[in-house]
Structure 1
Amino acid sequence: MGYVNYEAWQEFSDHDITYVTREKRKCRYETLETREIPEEDRDSVISDETVKLSWRRRWKRPMTGEELSHRRGRRPKSGVVLVSESRSGRHKCRRITKWKDKRDEGTITFLTNDLDTPASVLCEVYRRRWQIETLFKRLKQNFPLKHFLGDNRNAIQIQIWTSMIAWLLMQVIKRQTRRKWSLSNLMTAVHILLNSYTGLYDFLDHPEGQWLKIIEARQKSASAYQELALFPPQSPPFSRIKRRPLIYRELHMKKRWIELLSDSNIINQ
């Protein structure tokens, strides 16, 4: 999180939202407790404290009609009468100070409302914050997380965990293939091959030859269905509906794969 707003941080804590951010310069705080640092973290973590931050916010708002009717003095002929208001409070959080990667560069201080997680883990979370942002961005782009299948908390958590498991499986497949596929194209390939009896890694390593085999197998199965006459001819009311031949659809899918394979994001030229 890249902005300083103590009131917003308190709202995060009220709604059980965890944050980790850097401390701004000349931050005033009151120390409530000094935590003990584990022995394995003493080389990097300098201090771990529980503190309280005081905040005060001022703003102006227009006076309502009822307030104007009870207002003493001359009533303004035109314009809006502004009233000054303020709000103050205190926010309880955790203050962690650690050395930077090189001790010559000095120290860095974090503020967080997570009072249970070890200090070294929270520092690592902040260091990898952009990787976490990229992960959630790709999850929202490639998985249906914009629309949830259920309304309760359990259904939403199941859908998120399922997407995370699928994401990890895609990463394993991506690392074990010889070609360099982009994640979106890799997921498109897996989605198309779900109903095909073909080796996934064989297809991803040699998609051109494997795709021709898939087309031939589907053409053979289509001709076998036609020879067995499993599907009777359509009745007259539906005879005007024209469907594209199976071979035409297979050629169209082959053309789509050729365009997909020519993408610079898939093949490392």
Structure 2
Amino acid sequence: MDNHTLLSSFGKWISPINVKKLSEQIMKTGQDRYTKKFTTYTYIKLLLLSHLEEVESLHAMSDTLFDDDIQQELGLDSISVSQLSRKHRAVDSNLLATIFYQLVDQIRHSQPGRQVMPVKVIDSSTIPLNLTNHPWATFRKTKGGVKLHLRLVFMEDGASYPEYANITPANEHDRTQLEVLVDDKEATYVFDRGYMDYERFDRMTDDGYFFVSRLKKNSITRTIKSYDVEQDSTILSDEMVAVGGPTKRMDNLFRLIEVDDSKGNRLRLITNRFDLKASEISDMYRSRWTIELFFKWLKQHVKIKQFYGQSETAIINQIFSALIVYCLHVLIQLNTKSKKTILQISRFLKAKLWKDCRHWLRRISGIP
């Protein structure tokens, strides 16, 4: 890190955002054609700050500009609620998505050679919305919502980061997203039994994609070959099996591993990887907890349960900006080689938000 920077901690935190590329994209789309002060980049910075500070509403967001430091950072001394509302509706969601994927690319290149074959965890989380205020987000007769489908990279040191996100109506079934979320033959994908699909599992195997999942309780299997179970492990059985009955079955043979989880529940894990130990397959499936923790973090530490706008664009922008917040934390964690958790990094950042960033960087790096 640059020990001579004069940036505030907030300025350092958002510095990985490629402002030049963002400006070029804004110019191409004409996003700021009739804008004088409240530019798209200013809006993005205010939105990220609002996530960080967990600002409750547009009125509260407008009131934050009473702070001199925020005024200086944004180049604004005031902004009305109506202006904020219009901006939420107007900013192209592709701009926020592009920032997110650029940060993901930086994270990927910040840790070269850390994994030969990474584990990528797939899951989704439904975000409920009031159907009265969001009539476009029909889910059930009396409920509205959207679903965030996510691919998370699980790193060897236990850390993780979101790599790909797709936002759909809440009634979109998880299985339909495997075609979108699985695209890397150099990874092993881990997902729950909600993604179980005989035809798709066969197709993934034929196309050279690796996966670990849970087999549904009612799935019929026929043992082709049994493998020795590792001693002093939680593995109960390890077999090569044919899956399915007379009318519906998989063309390929798969590996079925039975194991007890930490609560004593028996899990039937299905995979097309025969080159690893059964305990390694079990450990891969256990990495699913990272995506559950990630969704929990989103719902508890950024503004993802309450939304600042009602339009579809406003909702998508807020979700992508929440993902950007997390990626910015991960980049600081990687670049400083910090042992602090994402939550600690966020807390220290808020405590030193407008101070010289060297104070914040020393704290998260463990330097006295």
Q: TM-score, normalised by structure 2?
A: 0.31
Name the structure, 1 or 2, with higher relative contact order (CA <8 Å, separation 6+).
2
* Structure whose alpha-carbon radius of gyration is higher: 1
Q: Which has the higher helix share?
A: 1
Q: TM-score, normalised by structure 1?
A: 0.41
